[in-house]
Amino acid sequence: MMQTDLSIIIPTYRRPELLREAIAICLEIRKLSFEVLVVDDCPDGSARQVVASFGDQRVHYRKREIPTGGRPAFNRNEAAAEAIGRIFYFLDDDDRMIAAHIEAAWARLDQSHRGVVISLARPFSTKPELELHETQLFKAAGSFLSKSPFTLTVVGRLVFGSTVLVCSSCMVKREAFAACNGFDPNIELCEDLEFYFRVIRRFGYVFSPEPIVERRIGQPALMLNNAHNERVASSYRMFQSKYRLEHGRFEFLALKIWTRARALLGL
């Protein structure tokens, strides 16, 4: 099979202009061979014309026959099964990749024996208070990751604490993706965190300090909605239960205590 350096996988649903912007930035990559796989979760195929408008053989369109109802794990997994890149990058359709930085992050991962590269996101929003809040969160995440914590310390942070990553701020080697069976579509929200802590625990990670994505902050009401918060809590309970079953009660409790203790100490 002919391989490219990078497969960029973009699930999308009725955001044609944001998708157009996301794809256009992907095409700014100069130092890597790559493909862009757009998976349309919309019944009317709203992204087809956007992809066709580029007229670029590196940009591929796929329409999902049965819409997932907002479960991008299905779309990411199906695209990954067809992807030919040595490294996968899962980009949300409303985010903007930073082409100049993704090449350096790709090289860090490619030259390492680890499975994942973790980078940072650069938030942007029309609401300054939201942008400031997320900027502070990612600054704290960068400070944590720059100290080169042990792999299980990062895993514990993802399982029990505040996250240090978003889906579009990481890349994963295809072999690591396959060995971990991709994203879990049974997890409704935060399925990206669950996927990445599984890969990180098994294959390790490398940190790339420059942000590789500009993350759009657009719907704060969702994060403040009690129903949404309960769905997030339900997802956490599900993947914590999975972790306990897969790795044993002792490791689960030890990791929980270690993570909570570090949080109390401000580490």
HSE, CB side, 13 Å, CA atoms: give it for residue 142: 16
Segment 37-82, tens digit of pLDDT:
999 998 888 899 999 999 999 999 999 888 888 889 999 999 999 9
Calculate what percentage of the chain has a pLDDT beyond 70: 96
Which tokens sit at 246? Answer: 């897969």
Which of 73, 39, 67, 120 has the alpha carbon at shortest distance from 238? 73
Question: How large is the average pLDDT for residues 154-159?
Answer: 95
**212 Ramachandran zone, left/alpha/beta (phi>0; psi -120 to 50):** alpha
Which of 1, 60, 62, 7 has the alpha carbon at shortest distance from 33? 7
Split at pLDDT 50, 70, 90, the class of 1 is low
Residue 117: CB atoms within 10 A of its CB come to 26
Whether the predicted pLDDT of 224 surpasses 50: no
Domain 1-94, CATH among 3.40.50.2300, 3.30.70.3000, 3.30.930.10, 3.90.550.10: 3.90.550.10
Segment 112-123, tens digit of pLDDT:
999 999 999 999
Quote the strand ranges of 27-137, DSSP E.
Answer: 34-40, 59-63, 85-90, 96-97, 116-118, 121-124
Cα-based torsion angle of the residue sequence 7, 8, 11, 16 in order, rounded to the nearest 10 degrees: -130
Query: What residues does each domain of the chain span?
Result: 1-94, 113-267
Which of 229, 116, 233, 230 has the alpha carbon at shortest distance from 177? 116
